[in-house]
Structures are given as structure tokens and as C-alpha cells.
Amino acid sequence: MPFLQYSENRALREKMYHAYINRGNNNDANDNKKIISRMVALRAEKAGLLGYNSHADFVLEESMAKSPKEAYDLLNGLWDAALPVAKQEAADMQKMMDKEGRNETLEAWDWSHYADKVRKERYNYDAEELRPYFQLENVKAGFFKVANKLYGITFTALTDVPVYHKDVTAYQVKEADGTHIGVIYMDFFTRSSKRGGAWMTSYATQSYKDGKRVAPVVSIVCNFSGPNGDEPALFTADEVTTFYHEMGHALHGLLSNVKYRSLAGTSVPRDFVELPSQVMEHFAFEPEVLQFYAKHYKTGAIVPQELITKMKNAGKFNQGFETVEYLAASLLDMGFHTIPVGKEIGAIKFETAEMNKYGLIRQIAPRYRSTYFQHIFASGYSAGYYSYIWSAVLDSDAFAAFKESGNIFNPEVAKSFRKNVLEKGGTIEPMDLYKAFRGKEPDMKHLLKDRGLNKAL
Ligand SMILES: [Zn+2]
């Protein structure tokens, strides 16, 4: 990817790109095409034996979407909005190529390269400029204040509990009246023994035993860079987002209030589980919230709003491409898994026919092509790759409820979100929970607006 982005050598970019999109598709010992055809046929057969029309019908019965039709409706609606934006992005890049005096037509191996050039020309945004404003202790305290304003809860540092590493800190979480809710451990910094990424996990899951609430003990783990010499640990904007995300999962675990452990907190369908986490991401860069925490670590000055605006605008750039390549992969996943029992397909032939059906432009390939689509053929996301954007529709719509009220800390909206979503775990159908909170089904227009994809509609 960095090569495609930075190399000026177009012939090598083309070679690299072809090698990349043909992984598992070279008619050699590592070719996956036949395996995929076989897997798709067997999944359909299994679904048929269990009385379903397709593998997707079987899988989606236990999701929030419930059926392939619901997932398709969302994907198609987003597709219609995103594809024209991607085409416009392609036209902008073609202009840039023409300006450089190249007598060439934009191809797939030019996209990252010219996207980078257009981005630099249009926004002049350097992510490092924000870092001095995002000091770890301030970011943490800022989040505690947000949670306090929303739910009345408090976080108190615990110095008398065992921790598994000197970098780990623990906090007691209490209701406004002092009632114990649970404990959260935080483990921020990267170290050689730690797996990559960021996640939330649960050491003790909430439940009721003999009529008494068993308090949860949860943890968030990240891979942020630690303090450097005299400098305190400073976050990037992406790291602040990740922190808010994991804390959103943590609140889902902490505020859980159900009888059975197996249905508590984050034990909900895959297309619903990212709602509590992603909705918190929306709070991170709101002006009211930045006031709490985004102070320069040396001068104490609050981050200038223009810097945040620049970051947000730069973030909307290339969203047509990113949304289309993601949707193309999701539609491919749904296509493979709605094949009826007994139908034989060739993996790449099927992929090409599906993508032509939707009018995907040749400069964009699905984020994962069939022969290296691990999510759906090797890690349990079959008929489930759509769930990332399903959750995104929910979190954008949910945050709009706070925004529309004129106060992002509106206690009534927060109370309803807590009571109807955060406390209920997997005890009730997700769509029923969502409607109880929002009063209606989610509307994709909020997501389109957040991503700057609402132009075509
Ligand atoms: Zn998550």
C-alpha cells in the first residue's frame, strides 16, 4: 500500500497492484478458486439441510438484520450514494494527471498515488500538529467527565488492587449516589509481549446471584506510544478515537444490568455490538468535549477549532472510494452466501459478474477479492461483512438523537440510551432495543452526512 501511494514509477505500481489483487488466483498450488467454490456449495447444502434457503438466511436469523433482504437494502442504498462520489473522485484525479501533462487515463494502480496528491493540495493537514493537545491524563479525565455528564457516573483511581503490569491502572466506577457499578482496568502502552490492536475484555461479567448484582470487572487494552523522555504520553487523533471506542465497549460491559451472564454487556449480535463503542467516537471531537481535555501539554491552550475542522475535512476525503471498495466486498460476501442449494459457481467468474451487475468502475476492486477474502472464508464473517457499516448507520443515527436535542449531554437522551441499550445486553431483540431508544428505525442519512456522501441524494 505505501508503494502504491508513494512510488512515482507507474509501471512498477501496475505490477505491484496486479500481484496484490491476484493473491490466491495464480493457477498454482496456492490457488483458492476451487476451494471457494466447494466451500460456498457446502455452506448452501448445510443451510438447505437445516431448512433455510441459503447460508445467509441461516446466519442472519440471529443477527439484527434478520434476513438477507434487510442487509441488501442497506448495502444497495449506500451504494447508490457512494458510487457517484467515487466517480467524482476519479474525475478529480484525472484532472491532476492531466495537469501534470501525462497523456494517461486513471487506472486502479494510480488511485492511492493521486488520492495522496489531491489530498495534499486540497487540505494541508498534518496529523502530528494535534498530538501536543492530546495528553494521556487529560484525554482520560476528559472521557470521565463526558461519562459523568451523560450518566452521572464517576471514576476513582484504585491504588490497592493488584495489576498485572506496572503500566496498568484500575478505576472504581460508581453511580452518582456512590453505589458501586464495577471496576475497569486500563492498559495503554505498546510492549513487545502484547498483541497488536486495541480491544475491550471482561474479567468478571455482570449477572445476578441470589438476587444481588454481581459487579463486572472489565479491561481495555491499547497499543499507544508511552511517555518519551520528559514528554508525557501524547495521543494522535486516531488514538483518541480508539480510546473513546474501547471505553464505549467498556460502558456496555459496566452498565449491564441483566440476570444471566451469557446475555450480559457485549453478548449481542455482531451487527449490534459496535453501536455502544462507535457512538462514543462521535463525542471525542465535539467542541464542548474538546474544552474538557484538548489542552496543549506545555502552554495549556485549548486546541484551535480550525485545526479540528481541518482534520474533519481531510477525513471526509476519499470516502467515496473507501465506502465503495468496502460495499463491493460486502455485496460479494452476500452474493456468495445467497447462492441456492445445488448451484455450482466459479469464484472469479462469479465475482466479475456480480461486480458488473452493480456497475463497479474498473479503477476500484473490492477491498478483498474472493481468493483472499479471509473474513468470510477463514474467520467467521460469512454473510456478516456488512455488519461494520450496519453498526455505522446505527451509531450515526444514535448520535444524531443527542445532537438534535440541542445538547450532546442531554440527560433524557442519555438515560434512554443507557436504559434501552447499555443495560440490556442481549436479552431483547436489538431492533426493539434500538426503537425503544430512538422511537424509530435508524436512518442511513446521518451516516452519509458524516462521510460527506450525501451530495448525490
Ligand atoms: Zn469495537
What mean pLDDT is predicted for residues 288-302? 95
Report the separation in Å between the CA atom of 407 and the middle of ligand 1, taken as the mean of its atom positions.
25
What mean pLDDT is predicted for residues 412-436? 97
| pLDDT of residue 246 exceeding 60 | yes
* pLDDT tier, 456 (very low <50, low <70, confident <90, very high otherwise): low
User: Mind listing the pLDDT tens digit for each residue in 163-220?
Assistant: 999 999 999 999 999 999 999 999 999 999 999 889 999 999 999 999 999 999 999 9
Report the separation in Å between the CA atom of 367 and the middle of ligand 1, taken as the mean of its atom positions.
20
Those residues whose beta carbon sits under 5 angstroms from the ion ligand 1 are 277
Grid cell digits, residue 139: 484525554
pLDDT at 457: 47
* pLDDT tier, 125 (very low <50, low <70, confident <90, very high otherwise): confident
Asked if 255 and 264 count as a contact pair (C-beta separation under 8 A), the reply is: no
No. of H helices and E strands in the chain?
Answer: 18, 7
Q: Say whether 306 is catalytic.
A: no
Report the separation in Å between the CA atom of 100 and the middle of ligand 1, taken as the mean of its atom positions.
42
Instruction: Share the mean pLDDT of the chain.
Output: 95
Please name each of the domains of the chain with its CATH number. 2-123+317-385 (1.10.1370.10), 130-292 (1.10.1370.40)
pLDDT at 398: 98
Task: Count Cβ atoms within 10 A of the Cβ of residue 371 and give its class: 0-12 exposed, 13-18 middle, 19 or more buried.
Answer: buried
Report the separation in Å between the CA atom of 267 and the middle of ligand 1, taken as the mean of its atom positions.
13
Report the separation in Å between the CA atom of 242 and the middle of ligand 1, taken as the mean of its atom positions.
9
Whole-angstrom distance, CA of residue 236 vs CA of residue 198: 14
| pLDDT of residue 409 exceeding 70 | yes
Report the separation in Å between the CA atom of 272 and the middle of ligand 1, taken as the mean of its atom positions.
10
User: Mind listing the pLDDT tens digit for each residue in 345-355?
Assistant: 999 999 999 99
| pLDDT of residue 74 exceeding 50 | yes
Asked if 85 and 320 count as a contact pair (C-beta separation under 8 A), the reply is: yes
Q: Out of 246, 281, 325, 354, which one is annotated catalytic? A: 246
What mean pLDDT is predicted for residues 101-114? 96
What mean pLDDT is predicted for residues 269-281? 95
Task: Tell whether the torsion through CA atoms of 401, 405, 411 and 416 is positive or negative.
Answer: negative
Asked if 173 and 155 count as a contact pair (C-beta separation under 8 A), the reply is: yes
Element of type H or E holding 115: helix 111-122
